[in-house]
Structure 1
C-alpha cells in the first residue's frame, strides 16, 4: 500500500451509471418516512384530501429544488455536491462551512439515527433483548461502511438491489389499497381535528422532511459517468419517482382504512394494513421491507457523505487531510474518510440521541439550500452566454419556488424550535476557528 502522500496518483473511479445514480436518489430519500409519517401528515392536514395535497405540494417543492440544483450540477459536476457548489458560487469560506456541517454532524447523525432505528426493528423481528440494540446498530453501520470500502460499483449495485427490494412492500400497499380498499380516500376527514390541526403548512413541512436526501447523489459527481447529463437526469427522475410513490402509498392507505383509522392508529397504521391484508405473514414481510429500506438509505448516506470529507481534505481544509484524502489504489475509494464518518456516527449512537441531532441540523442545511438556489441566479448573471447542458425549466419561477419552500422550512424551524436553531448555528460556528487555523493560516504562510 502506498503512503497517503501518494494519493494524488489515484483518481476516483467514474463507473456509476444512470441506474446506480437513480437508485441512490430513490434509496436515500425513501427510508422510514413513508411508513411512519402518514398519521402525522393527516393529523395536521385534518382531512384525506388535504393530506394528499400536502404530499403533492411537498413533492413539487422538492422537484423545484432538485431542478434548480440539477442546472448547477450540470455546470459543476464535482465530488462534494453542495460543498463544491457553495465554494464555486460564493467562496471557500462558505463552501467549508457547508461541508463542515455535513461531515461532522448532519451526515453522521443521519447514519447513526438510521442504525439505531434499524436495531430496534431487527430486535423486534427476532424478539431479541434490548441489550442487543447497541451492538446491532454499531454492527450495521460498520458492515455497510466496509461494503463501501470496496470499489464503488458494489455500493452502486447494492443501492439498486435494496431499492428494488424496498419497493416490493410499497407496491403491495399501493395495489391492495387501490384495488381492494373500500374507504373513501378523498372526502374522509378526522373528527374533532379540523379546528385544532396545525394546518396545511405544517402537514407539508412533514412531507418535506420525508423527501429530504435527494441532493446527496451530487456528492458523487466525480464518480458518475457523463455527470453533466446523468446528474440532472438522476435527480429529476428520482424525485418524480418518489413523489409518485408517496402519493400512491398515501392514497392506498387512505383507501384501505380511511383518514380516521389512520389517525387512531398513528405510526401503527401501515403495519395494521399489512396484517389486515396479508395476515401475520404480512406484518413480517413489511418489517423486512422496512429493514431493507433503512439499510438501503444508510448505504446511500455512507456512500455519499465521506465524499464531501474527501473533497475537503484534497484541498487540505481538514485536520489529517493527507489521510482523509487518501484513495486506496485497488478500490479507488476514500477509505479513511469512510472510517472517519463511521467512527463519528458510532460515537453518536453510543453517546447521544442522533435522531435529535439530525433534526437540529435541518435549519442550517436549508439555509445552505437557499444560498445554493439563489446562486443559480448569480451564475446566470456571471456567465450569461455559457452553454448549458441542462437548463431549469420555467426559469425563474422554478428556483423562486425552491427558495420559497426552503424559507418556509427555515421559518417553521425558528418558530417551533428556537433553541434547536441556536444549537444548529453554534455547530456551524465551531467550524470558523477550524477554517481559520487550517485554511487561512496556510494562506498567510
Structure 2
C-alpha cells in the first residue's frame, strides 16, 4: 500500500543533497580557501578532496544505517535506534537549536549580501541582514504553504545553479586571456608560504560541503527510501566533488589566485563581466542568488520537520502541540514556527558576531558544522561494531568507509580549531552544552 506521506522521489533526494551542498559555500568560500592555503591551487584542491573524503565515506557509511531503519527524524532516528534514545535526544536538540538555524541564518545573509551587490544597495551588514530576513521568512512560507512547491523549487534551483558553475569550469579549461587587473582601491594579497596553516582551510571547506546529512530528515517521505536514499547518498557527494573541483580550477584559470584573494566575495562578478560583457556581472549575481536561495530552501525542508520528529519521540517540551499535523498543509505548524523562531534568533547572533568581528573570517555555522562531524563519529563507530558482529558483510562499507569517515571528521575538527582557536573552541563548547541539555532533558522526561 502506498504511503501518502511519501511525497518525494529519487530526483528530489539527489537534488536536495546537491542543492544544499552546492550553491552558497563554493561562491563565497573559495577566496577563503585560497587565503588559508597562501594562494596555492594544489593545496586548495587537496582540501577540497579532504572535504569530499568526509561526506563521500560518511554518506556511504550511513547508507548501512538508512537501509536498516524506517524511523523518522533522519539522523536522529539513527542515533535512537543504533546508539541510544538519550544520545538521539541530545543530537536532535543540537540540530534544532544550533545546526539547522545557524545554516539558515548565515546562508540567508549571504543571499542578502549578493542582492545588495545586484541592485547596488548599500552593502552594510544591517541591509544584508534585513534582506536575508525577508528571504528567510519567504522560504519558510513557501515550504509551509505547499510541500510540492518546496520540492519543485529545490529541483529547479539545483539545475539553475549548475549553469554558472559548469560554465565557468568549462570556459576556464580553455581560457587563454590574461588575468584581470586589480582595481586601484583594492589591496593586493600576494601568495605566501603558510606551512601547516593550510589546515585552517578545512573550516570553510566543511561549510562548502555541508548539508548532505539533512536529506536523511525526509527519508520517510521519499518513495522506496531503501533504494532511493542509498543511491542519493552515494551519487550526490560524487557529483558535488566533481563540480567543485572543475569550478575551482576554472575560476583560478580565468581570474588568477591573487585577484580572487584580493577581491573576495565579489570576484565572481568579474567573471560575469569577462564572459558576458557589462550585464554579465548582474546575470552572474542572479544565478548566484538563486543558487544560494536553493540552499536555504533545502536546509529549511529539513529544519521544519525536526521539532516534530523530536516531539513524536517526546524529546522536546510542548511535544503534544508541536506533534500535531495540520490537515491542510500536512505539516506541523508548531514545528515550522519553532524552526523559524530559532533561525531568526541565530540571525541576530550572526549579526552580532560579524559586527564585532570576534570570529574573524569564520561564522557561527562553521562551528556548528564542525561539532556535527564530531557527533557523526558515533555512527561511524557503530557501523564498525556492526561489521564486527557480522551484521554487515561488506568489508568496504563495514571497515573502509567508516574508518575514512572517522579520519575525515577528525581532520575537519582540527581545521575548525586551527581556523579560530579561541572563539571557535568557545562555540564548540556552546554546541556541546546544547547537546548535553538535550541528553539531560531526555533523562528528566523519561523519569516523569
Tell me the TM-score range normalised by the shorter chain: 0.7 to 0.9
The equivalent of 1:230 in structure 2 is 228
TM-score normalised according to structure 2 size? 0.86
Query: Is the 1:27–1:163 contact (alpha carbons within 8 Å) kept by the matching residues of 2?
Result: yes
CA positional deviation for 1:192? 6.5
Equivalent of 1:163 in 158, 161, 166: 158
Query: Is the 1:58–1:207 contact (alpha carbons within 8 Å) kept by the matching residues of 2?
Result: yes
TM-score normalised according to structure 1 size? 0.87
The equivalent of 1:4 in structure 2 is none
What is the aligned length?
425
Equivalent of 1:298 in 285, 296, 303: 296
Q: SS where residue 221 of structure 1 aligns? A: helix
CA positional deviation for 1:51? 2.3
CA positional deviation for 1:69? 1.5
Give the unaligned 5+ runs of structure 2: 180-187, 355-362
Q: SS where residue 148 of structure 1 aligns? A: helix
Question: 2:92 aligned with 1:89, yes or no?
Answer: no
Equivalent of 1:404 in 387, 393, 407: 407
Question: 2:193 aligned with 1:201, yes or no?
Answer: no
Alignment of 1:184-263 (within 5 A): 193-196=191-194, 198-263=196-261
Query: Is the 1:106–1:357 contact (alpha carbons within 8 Å) kept by the matching residues of 2?
Result: no
Q: SS where residue 333 of structure 1 aligns? A: coil
Q: SS where residue 142 of structure 1 aligns? A: helix
Indicate the RMSD between aligned Cα atoms, in angstroms: 2.7
Once residues 203 and 258 of structure 1 are traced to their aligned partners in structure 2, the CA distance between those partners, rounded to angstroms, is 18
Question: 2:31 aligned with 1:39, yes or no?
Answer: yes
The equivalent of 2:277 in structure 1 is 279
Alignment of 1:143-158 (within 5 A): 143-158=138-153
**Change in 2 beyond 3 A, CA 1:95/1:142:** same
Alignment of 1:346-425 (within 5 A): 346-350=344-348, 352-353=350-351, 356-382=363-389, 384-385=390-391, 393=396, 395-415=398-418, 416-425=420-429
**Change in 2 beyond 3 A, CA 1:444/1:205:** closer
**Change in 2 beyond 3 A, CA 1:198/1:280:** farther
The equivalent of 2:357 in structure 1 is none
Q: Deviations over 1:60-114 (max 9, x none)?
A: 3321112111222122243322211112222111111111011012211211112
Q: Deviations over 1:140-194 (max 9, x none)?
A: 111111111134332111100111111121122122212334579xxxxx99645
**Change in 2 beyond 3 A, CA 1:116/1:48:** closer
Q: SS where residue 332 of structure 1 aligns? A: coil
**Change in 2 beyond 3 A, CA 1:177/1:425:** same
Greater displacement, 373-382 / 154-163: 373-382
Q: SS where residue 75 of structure 1 aligns? A: coil
Query: Is the 2:106–2:350 contact (alpha carbons within 8 Å) kept by the matching residues of 1?
Result: no
Q: SS where residue 218 of structure 1 aligns? A: helix
Give the unaligned 5+ runs of structure 1: 1-10, 185-189
Once residues 111 and 340 of structure 2 are traced to their aligned partners in structure 1, the CA distance between those partners, rounded to angstroms, is 16
**Change in 2 beyond 3 A, CA 1:426/1:263:** closer
Query: Is the 2:93–2:434 contact (alpha carbons within 8 Å) kept by the matching residues of 1?
Result: no
Question: 2:6 aligned with 1:14, yes or no?
Answer: yes
**Change in 2 beyond 3 A, CA 1:204/1:349:** closer
